[in-house]
Structure 1
Amino acid sequence: MQTLGSHAAWATAGRPRRRHDRDGYGPLRRARAANTGEELLALPAGFTYTVFGLTGTTMSDGQATPIAHDGMAAFPSPRRGAVRLIRNHEVRTGPGSPTGRVHVPGSDRYDEQGVAGTTTLDVDPRTGRVLEHFVSLNGTTTNCAGGVMYGGRGWLSCEETTAGPRQGWQRKHGYVFEVPLHGPGPGRPAASRPITAMGRFSHEAVAVDPRTGYVYETEDDSGKPNGFYRYRPRNPRDLADGGVLEMLKITGRPGYDTREGQRMGARLPVEWVRIDDPDPDLENGAATCTQQGLAAGGAKFNRLEGCWYGDGSIYFNSTSGGDAKNGDSPGADGYREGYGQVWRYIPGRRRDRDHGGRGPHRWNRDGGTLELVYESPGRKVLDSPDNLTFTPRGGIILCEDDASSADADPHPLAPGLDNVNRLIGLDPGGAPFEFAVNITDDSEFAGACFSPDGSVLFANTLGSTTDLTPPGRTYAIRGPWRRGPL
């Protein structure tokens, strides 16, 4: 099967699609959850789902399941036959607010006023039954997305904010935190320690290149240009040991604006510029990481969100990039938001091995290329891609986050909803297709990821980030994956 790296080539070459590529898995229909009977999603024929992890559900540690289910990853569980999910909660309430809070009294927390963090769930993938669930990180705020740690040792959870004491928090925020896969259990969350060398900015997601241990980071700060970052750690297994933070720059074209006027399939040569102060004292007027990178010629993106390693490359979404505009008011620099782009960064060529051929490969620091592999022509096709994931069969799934407030986005399978969000697949011909529709509320999809054996797709609907309704939910979707392009 062709992978996403070939999508732009297929599209520009005008190659014919195979039969199943024309409509993904066929038309969708409203479906009931196998375990509750609720009609929550629309899916293609042959696919079934269970729902669990509902906001307010009492967990194994006695805490209520928090609000705002966001980025997530699936790992092998210590329990035989089970899958371990580590799930972010993008709680955006005020400092210390009890509403939907991620909180374990007496635990080792970075900020006593923190309201967000992660929960860990062990799930039976066949039935969707939750075997154990508990808070695994607290003392943070606005934990949006993240990524899998080097070697699959756990989850990197990212704060999508740069708030601090001036906003009522006890500590500065805007960092990445580690959540060990095999850490403490119920009632004993991991100690929350910010990795300051990875940067203080409005983080979204990260992806680790398993060949180098480099961590690629997206930034989502609405209304202004954002950067795409790379963290080169001294030790990939100990990110807190320090390293170098850099921003992507298009070689020979300082300040290149990727947000519009781009051509699918064109490859742009890349170099990286160093961020000299990755942990800026924003409270006293220090230049932000973004300002530092752009001043050095870094490329401009708009609302970078989902990020995933696959097919030897790093793929990431610009949620509001593109020439087709969504109608929202322009940002501070006059840019008008689009319906979304999917980008691919292809790392530089391998040089040689360190340590006499026994260590990791050394890679050209200034090498690599950037390629636009898909750009949405309008909301009906793809509206604001957020999280993304690769499928075990080489396909890709995009989680929609209808970011525009200007245009309604109804759907015939979800009557009564003005802004409907979907899971969108990309076929080998570069064309998007609907795979799932949230027919319950206007929550965005988030955290899509596959079980280690590839048989189950897990995904969240966010719910509210400030209130108990609508609730966040987690889904387990099974079906005939090999019948179509995912």
Structure 2
Amino acid sequence: MDTDTPLIARRRLLKAAGLGLGMAGMGLTPVGQLLARAGSSTQVHAGYGPLQPVRDLNTGLPLLQLPEGFRYTTFGWAGEALAGDIACPGKHDGMGVVRAHGDVVTLVRNHEIGGETSGSFTPPGATWDPDCAGGTTTLRFDTAAGRLLDARPSLSGTLVNCAGGVTPWGTWLSCEEIVLTRGQQLQIDGAVHTMKQSHGYVFEVPADGLSSAEPIVAMGRFKHEAATVDPSTGIVYLTEDGHRRAGFYRMLPAVPGELLRGGRLQMLAAEGAPDLRRGRRQGERLKVRWVEIEHPDQGADSDSPTRDEGVVAQGVAGGGSVFTRLEGCIYGDGRVFFTSTNGGDASCGQVWAYDPGAELLELVFESPDPHVLDYPDNVVLSPRGGLVICEDSAQPVQRLYGMTGAGGLFEFCRSDVVLTGQGGFTGDYRGAEWAGACFSPNGRWLFANVYTPGFTVAITGPWRDGLI
């Protein structure tokens, strides 16, 4: 698939084919039942059995606890040399598999860097704002040998690259989760920096080479979180991580598969429900319309009480509905599923589903208690019909959870990262968030990131249908 020309890739988009659809479509057929069952009968499940310390095949350290029979290797650590003898940045966040060629998979990984003075780590052609140190790295992993082949920079000069999403044509959409305006001053490490470019955009990163570092302005300038593409239409759906109020958006591209050629940005409006943050009933369905965003580049931090004139304000003025802290977003089973990290009456999280064909929005799950589910972050669907949930909570130890097709929750992996100088890091990192979970196309490897000190894990073992 890596030999496709851009024209063929665009045609495959419209035919619901191509690698991105393959990655988005693995195991998605039962997703509606998965989430609905989770809402009605969430229960503790045995999963793969009890967890036990397992040594990393790379460092020899017992960094994770996993069920019996599972093994893992770490790679892409912060500080390690990338191609060109550039130190790998840290704060490993969202990630996706954008290509598979034989046994080799290509991953693009976000680095959620904001307040650092090091500046861009890519050449000028792949840099948006030279004083800014966020961006992406691209890694190739050999699934047969279980090892990293190479790692290189692919985008920089951005800020707070949080999540994003894989496209059906085999690229990565990297999303900035901050809004700053060109000329605005920001204090970083005691020094004042003046932004040479505005921030709050989405950037596209190819599987090969470097990103053009051109912002996709039509996707808006706001606190972006995740993105997903409907492969049958090329429409891109986007979440906003606004603490006070957030919108759910879609971008209708002028040319599907060519996002830099522009399009129309719209915000979801649920009829009769302007506020979806609290007081909703699980299982309720709401008719949807879409509000035009006339000025997608009119960015402002929607969480600031004094600067609320941005994209979300435009949507609300047109009747758009507000959520709180929207995070993960994925297309599957003919619907777009997205999460609100702290939504719901218990402020523990909601899962919503939008049906483009019926123009309906459904609250398919709302956590009633933090002991059921609390502050889920990145999520990925397994080819075996289950769901992997990355934890980003205030708990002292962070976990990867599994959810079965029948709605049973289980703990699959527990962080045990305590370092005493290894890789130049010392400290207890068990409370660092998990992020960027994604599967290899054959489903044999689960990749995920430990945000701090910053490394990627590849986990394999005796997977079973019905679990993850």
Q: Distance in 2 between matches of 1:56 and 1:11?
A: 40
Q: Distance in 1 between matches of 2:217 and 2:465?
A: 45
What amino acid sits opposite 2:80 in the alignment?
A: T
- Match for residue 81 of structure 1? 103
Letter in 2 for 1:55: A
Cα distance in 2 between the residues matched to 1:401 and 1:435: 15
Q: 1:77 to 1:59 in 2, by over 3 A?
A: farther
Q: Which amino acid aligns with 1:424?
A: Y
Identity of aligned residues (%): 47
CA–CA separation in structure 2 for the residues paired with 1:432 and 1:14 = 10
The residue that corresponds to 2:262 in the other structure is 242
CA deviation after TM superposition for structure 1 residue 105, in Å: 4.5
**Cα drift, residue 438 of structure 1:** 1.6
Within 1, Cα distance between the matches of 2:86 and 2:353?
40
Return the offset for 1:77.
4.3
Q: 1:241 to 1:397 in 2, by over 3 A?
A: same
For the 8 Å contact 2:380–2:389, the answer to whether it is kept is yes
Question: Which residue identity is paired with 2:173?
Answer: L
- Report the alpha carbon displacement of residue 246 of structure 1 after superposing the two structures with TM: 0.7
Cα gap change, 1:322/1:30 in structure 2, threshold over 3 Å: closer, same or farther? farther
Alignment match of 1:27 (pick from 26, 45, 50)? 50
Report what 2:348 is aligned to: 339
Map Cα deviations across residues 331-365 of structure 1 (whole Å, 9 max, x no partner). Answer: xxxxxxx12122221212xxxxxxxxxxxxxxxxx
Q: Which of the numbers 287, 291, 295 marks the counterpart of 2:313?
A: 291
Counterparts of residues 86-97 of structure 1 (less than 5 Å): 86-94=108-116, 97=117
The structure with the greater share of residues assigned to strand is: 2
CA-to-aligned-CA distance 1:49-78 (integer Å, 9 cap, x gap)? 111111000112211110110111113345
Corresponding residue number in structure 2 for 1:480: 462
Q: Distance in 2 between matches of 1:72 and 1:93?
A: 21
**8 Å Cα contact 1:140/1:173 also seen in 2:** yes
Alpha-carbon distance between aligned partners in 1 of 2:40 and 2:157, rounded to the nearest angstrom: 51
SS state of the match for residue 410, structure 2?
strand
In the alignment, which of 275, 285, 291 is matched to residue 267 of structure 1?
Answer: 285
Deviates more, 1:471-480 or 1:5-14: 5-14
Q: Do the aligned residues in 2 keep the contact of 1:301 with 1:318 (CA within 8 Å)?
A: yes
Match of 1:368 in 2: 359
**CA contact 1:102–1:118 (8 Å) conserved in 2:** no
Alignment partners' CA distance in 2, 1:262 and 1:24:
31
Establish whether residue 158 from structure 1 lines up as the match of residue 167 from structure 2.
no
Report the secondary structure of 1:85's partner residue. strand
Cα RMSD for the two superposed structures: 2.3
- SS across alignment from 1:424: strand
Q: What amino acid is the match of 1:155? A: W
Matched residue SS, 1:39: coil
Question: Structure 1 pair 13/162, CA: closer, same or farther in 2 (3 Å)?
Answer: closer
Aligned amino acid, residue 368 of structure 1:
E
Letter in 2 for 1:90: E
Structure 2 residue runs without a partner (length 5+): 1-26, 186-193, 418-428
* Contact residue 381 and residue 433 of structure 1 kept, 8 A: no
Q: 1:197 aligns with which of 218, 223, 241?
A: 218
Give the drift of 1:282.
4.7
Say if 2:386 is the partner of 1:399: no
- Which string of whole-angstrom CA distances, capped at 9 and with x for unpartnered residues, describes residues 400-435 of structure 1? 111x5xxxx3xxxxxxxxx22211222223232211
SS at match of 2:47: coil
Q: Which residue number corresponds to residue 221 of structure 1?
A: 242
Contact 1:47 1:480 (8 Å CA) reproduced? yes
Q: Which residue type is aligned with residue 246 of structure 1?
A: Q
Deviations 1:179-225 (A, max 9, x none): 0123x2xxxx3220001111000001100000111000000122x11
Task: Pick the aligned partner of 2:397 from 417, 420, 424.
Answer: 420
Q: Is residue 29 of structure 2 the alignment partner of residue 47 of structure 1?
A: no
CA distance in 2, matches of 1:322, 1:438: 28
- 8 Å Cα contact 1:141/1:159 also seen in 2: yes
Greater Cα shift, 105-114 or 197-206: 105-114
